[in-house]
Structure formats: structure tokens, C-alpha cells
Amino acid sequence: MIINGKELAKEAEASIASLVSAMPRPPRLDVILVGSNPASSIYVRMKEKACKRVGIRSVKHTLPESATEVELLTLISSLNSDSSVDGILVQLPLPKHISESTIISAISPEKDVDGFHPTNMGLLFSGSPSIAPCTPKGVISMLDSIGFSYDGKKAVVVGRSNIVGKPMAVLLLQRNCTVTICHSHTRGLASETRQADLLVVAAGQPKLITAGMVKQGAVVIDVGVNRTADGLVGDVDFDAVSKKASAITPVPGGVGPMTVAMLMGNTLEAAKRRVKDAGI
Ligand code: GUN
């Protein structure tokens, strides 16, 4: 079975759009893009288009590559105190002279729709209700859509980033999977991945996962987006692995669209909470 992320994202967006239309005012998402990384520009455009589809107001702030950390912090501070702003997203990666952790920590946790702020990460890791990062949330939504039963399953996550690998492992742990996190220093990667009932790959290495690394009947989720001479490819050798997997996500058209849909959901949730708490 091929899990159609594009179709699932469309369904998720339709239900978000109907909830947005019931709000006393449209939610507002402010997106900050620093520099002109081509991939980041594409992602930001996709996020803006999704906002339009679901009725969220999006405001884009473009800063030059030469922008200083202080300039970016000043912008974030003004958006934090602007009561018309519900969500703030700083597109990553940032230029090397700017500290990502300083910037992420400066965003008000209530407006951190990426779920990257240490407060939101801490809430997620301690099992409290929180804004969860969009990509792992999208993966869970895809697994739910195929009726995946998590309890007691062996899940292997390849990749340990704060954006995907770590929060993914926590969400699976919360659902009673036995979770292994693999990374670039893992010895015997294939012997780990071959044990997985569920394999989630977010390593950023084209076709890292070959058929020989996958157990017959496993569910395989490919979070990789690699621009190569052959076009966009995932971290999984789709053609070979799809013959062994019971369910698999394609690239493109898999996790990517779901990530964007989850961002719309997180923005709606942030706006709903603010309307409820402060009537704004
Ligand atoms: N860069 C790659 N993925 C993401 C994401 O989910 N959010 C942000 N802000 N930047 C990213």
C-alpha cells in the first residue's frame, strides 16, 4: 500500500478550513525567511499557499542573508507583542552567523507553531499537552490513517534531529512502541532497521535504506527530501523497498504535504487558545 500524503493532507486541510471559518477572526501566521536558500524559499511559498487554501492570513517577512541576530530578535520581539499575530515561524536553516537556538528560544512559546521552543519540547518530552512539531505529527496522522497499531511494535527512527527524529521517537514512545533511534554513528544500521515493524527515516541521505535493510511487511515512512540530479528523492530506495513493505510513503507526495497541513492545524490551535484565553 502506498500512503498518499497529498490526499490525506487535502482531507486534513478541508477539516481545518471549516474550523477556521467558524473562528471569530481568521488566524494569522507570520513567516520569517532570512536569506535566499532556494529550498527554504520553496517551503515558505508552499506554506503561504496552504494558508490561503484554509483561510489563514499569512504575513511574510523577508530579511537579507546579511541580517544580524539582533535584527531578527527585534522582529520576533515585535511579533511576540503584537496581539494580532497567532503564530510565528522562522524558516530553518538560518545563515551561519545566527544562532538557531537563540532565535527559537526568543519566540513566544504560545506562538511557536513549529513546536521547537524548549518549553514546547519539554512539554512534549514530559508527556504534557503541547504544540508538537509538524513533521512527526504528520507521520502519526499518516500511520493513524492506515490503522497502524502501535502497541508493543518495534519502531526504528533513523535520524536524531530536533525537528524530526527526537520528537518522532517521543510520539511513538507515547503510543507504546519500543523505540530505537539510529544516527550517523550507529554501528550495524542494517541489523537495527531489519528488526523494525515501523521504520521512519529522516537522515537526509538519498536512498540510504535499501530493500535488504527492511523486514518483510514493515511499514516504512520516508521523511527525506533530497534534491539530486535524478530530481527529488527520499532517504528510501522506493522501487525496491515498496516490494517488501506492507505500507510505504512516496517522495514527493508523502510526508511533505502532511507537514504543511499540520502547520495549518498548529496555527489554528494557537489562534483558538489565544481567542479563548484573552478574547483576541
Ligand atoms: N526547515 C526544515 N523543516 C522545517 C520546519 O518544519 N520548520 C521550519 N521552521 N524550518 C524548517
Mean pLDDT of 201-208: 97
Neighbouring C-beta atoms of residue 137, cutoff 10 Å: 22
- Cis peptide preceding 24, ω within 30 of 0: no
Residue of 30, 47, 153, 197 marked catalytic: 47
Per-residue pLDDT tens over the stretch 250-267: 999 999 999 999 999 999
Residue 216 is a catalytic residue: no
Ranges in the chain annotated CATH 3.40.50.10860:
23-109
| Helix or strand holding residue 167 (H, E) | helix 165-174
Strands 231-233 and 226-228: antiparallel
What is the number of the ligand 1 atom nearest to the C-alpha of 93?
A: 1
Kindly tell me if the per-residue pLDDT of 139 is higher than 90: yes
144 is catalytic: no
- Within the chain, all domains assigned CATH 3.40.50.720 are found at 134-253
Instruction: In whole angstroms, give the CA distance from residue 159 to residue 230.
Output: 23
Active-site residue, from 30, 86, 91, 153: 91
For the domain covering 23-109, report its CATH number: 3.40.50.10860
To the nearest whole number, what is the mean pLDDT of the chain? 97
**Confidence check: pLDDT of 275 > 90:** no
Is residue 92 in contact with ligand 1, taking CB distance under 6 Å?
Answer: yes
The answer to whether 114 is a known catalytic residue is: yes
pLDDT band (50, 70, 90) for residue 31: very high
CATH topology of domain 134-253: Rossmann fold (3.40.50)
Q: What is the mean pLDDT of residues 39-62?
A: 97
Taking each helix axis from N to C terminus, what angle separates 5-21 and 38-54, rounded to the nearest 10 degrees?
50
**Residue type at 67 in one-letter notation:** A
Confidence of residue 278 (pLDDT cuts 50, 70, 90): confident
Q: CA triplet 277, 174, 3: central angle to 5 degrees?
A: 95
- Using CA atoms, how far residue 98 sits from 34, 66, 67, 95, 164, in Å, is 10, 10, 9, 6, 21
